[in-house]
Amino acid sequence: MNALSLKQIFASLVLIGITMQMLSFGIAGQFRKNEGKSPEVLTTKQNGTEDFSPKSKIAPDLEEIAEEEFRGMRSNEIQKVIIQLKSETPLNESLGDLNTKDSAELFASEVKANQEKNGIIISDLIAVGGKFKKAYNNVGLVSAELPLSQVKELAKSENVEYISPDREVMGFGHVGYTAGIYNTGISDRGDSDANTWLVGSGIGVAVIDSGVYGGHDLFKKWDETSKVTSYDFTGTGNLADQYGHGSHVASIMSGDWRLGSAAYEGISSGVSVYSLKALGSLGTGTSANVIAAIDWAIANKASKNIRVINMSLGTPVRDSYKTDPLCLAARRAVNAGIVVVASAGNRGKDLYGNKLYGTIGSPGIEPSVITVGAANTLGTDIRSDDTVATYSSRGPTRGYQTINGVRKYDNLIKPDVVASGNKIIAAASPGSTFVTLFPSLKTGASSDADEQVMYMSGTSMAAPVVTGAAAMLIDTNPNLTPNLVKAILMYSAQPLNGYNTLEQGAGEVNIDGAVRLARLVKATLPTANGSALLKSSLPASQTSVISGQTVKWGKGVITNFGFLYGNDLMNKWQGMYASGVLVGDGTPFSGSSLSKSTTLTSGTLTLYQGVIKNNGVLIGDGTLFLSSNAMGGSPTPFYNAQGVLVGDGVLIGDGVLIGDGVLIGDGVLIGDSGSILGDNTSCMLPAP
């Protein structure tokens, strides 16, 4: 390793190691005086089954801090937290797509109810010496601060659903050809009308990141005005991209074709970019910043036609997705009809290069979002040499709830797909932290600040590829639900040989195949399970030609704990594609096995339980990798197909599963620093 790379890695470790230690929470209500009583029995529901076990209303990491204060290990400091409001309509249930009148009225009613609870929250906080900060009424969360010693007292309120710390979040840090939108054998990127050009025109995309340098040539429209509108959620009032991450991310998704003769053109160059700045100059922020941005996107969905949110950021996981405030906010956005795309994280290996499993960050652990891992294209447009990047975070998700003193892990299969993310060239924000710390990553011949580009690597770079693909699908058919967009992207993805579904999900995104499928979907979506979804037949050969190579569609969809496979996933309307449900609800978990829901799935579908490893042809023809008799949040460890205990140690000789005995912090630092420089392989070349 040369001295320069050592310097870069050290600088990145210092950069990512800096924290803001800000906390926040969501609340409502009157206190219930129940000292000395048994823990409240809370009902949780998953895959059609109810659990009446005692459950804590305080996030595990916040509970640990409070315990340290109780034992005198820290002072009674003021803590910032996020409180989830108790609601008649739980945040993880649907309020419907805001495009429909009834759903919009129901959503407005819920928002009004949240507003009315703010007065109660303020009085409750005053009673414990706390302070109300801000309400996020569109997502039913509130930020506040209070003495650490009073967290447990506040949790006794019968109107408080859950209290979480305002955790720190960080940005994780040739595309058109390898993604399948050029040279695919079909004109206009899948649009059968030769008079149109499918680029996401008129669609609003919210990029929640470190800001976007809107003056860059990659963000200029034909009339030289910027396609970027910026808002600040950091509280500083500074709209500039001081970190340099958000500009790179946004240009991968929306970069204009003129710079470098289209060498750096984004996936959907016609979209309107709404830069929602939630990360500061060091690439860090708080959960409250991100929640405020999501809240704004939901509130402005109709007026600005915001149909997709990109979150190339995340935080290490402690909560289950059922209680994690970032996940709850993301779910509300999906239920409002917005596709949410999140990066998986860059914690896929340890200091020695060993594979780590169970390292997906939040909000990537949320089942309603499209979680994206990074593929390494080796700089070529062809697909036959593509791999999963070594640093790309792997599932299963390791968020958990503590019930009766036992941790119940979510263990969902993630990511959903992968996309090119290694050593991608895109916009550089002049004078940014990245440009200053890593000058060797700058490339290209121009000295003009508005034309400068740089290399970056990570699942952060892969996520906007999928965000752009989602915008193109919505441009093709505006009535697609978020779940159907997700299903189409998975069904048409290319399975990569030698990787399991915890590494690649359904495979590498194939925009050619996805757009062709979206063109077949009826303009008015059916509502009855099993109804015909397409207006004409699926192609006889479900393949794409990308850069001269034939690429097979995987024809499968990841569910929470398994994999559904078959043509009827697209031939028929599946109830799991509707608003307000999860794709994973199509395969409910009961006892030790999965089954196909009779109301949310239909037709001839093959269900694979657990994780499978692909043989390079179709995931549906792959080899069983793990049996899932321990999935579904069971505290029991994993077992392989032969029933051999895997537990929180070695995952069938293929890597280490993050558990109680592995320090996730080590993976955060090494994974993120490794992804900044990328896998040391051939890569995308700058324009001549």
Here the tokens at position 288 are 């409250």
Whole-number Å distance between alpha carbons of 682 and 371: 26
> Is 209 one of the annotated active-site residues of the chain?
yes
137, with CB counted inside 10 A (0-12, 13-18, 19+), is buried
Phi, psi for 540 (deg, rounded to 5)? -60, -40
Half-sphere exposure of 540 (CA within 13 A, CB side): 0
Q: Given strand 562-565, what is the order of strands in its sheet?
A: 556-558, 562-565, 606-609
Q: Which of 97, 166, 209, 324 is catalytic?
A: 209
Whole-number Å distance between alpha carbons of 377 and 385: 7
Residue written as token pair 């996940």: 327
Q: Which residues pair with 205 in a beta bridge?
A: 273, 308
Q: Which of 245, 247, 248, 386 is catalytic?
A: 245
**Dihedral sign of CA atoms 659, 663, 665, 667 in order:** negative
359, with CB counted inside 10 A (0-12, 13-18, 19+), is buried
The full DSSP string for 193-257 is: -TT---S-TT-EEEEEES---TTSGGGB-TTS-BSEEEEE-SSS---S-SSSHHHHHHHHHH--S
Q: Which amino acid is at 681?
A: T
Q: Which of 460, 579, 673, 675 is catalytic?
A: 460
Whole-number Å distance between alpha carbons of 663 and 580: 36
> Which residues 6+ apart lie within 8 Å of 533 measured at CB?
521, 522, 525, 526, 570, 571, 572, 573
Q: Which residues pair with 406 in a beta bridge?
A: 403
Whole-number Å distance between alpha carbons of 307 and 203: 7
The torsion defined by the Cα of 476, 186, 219 and 291, in degrees rounded to 10, comes to: 40
> Is 460 one of the annotated active-site residues of the chain?
yes
Whole-number Å distance between alpha carbons of 438 and 85: 43
Positions marked active-site: 209, 245, 460
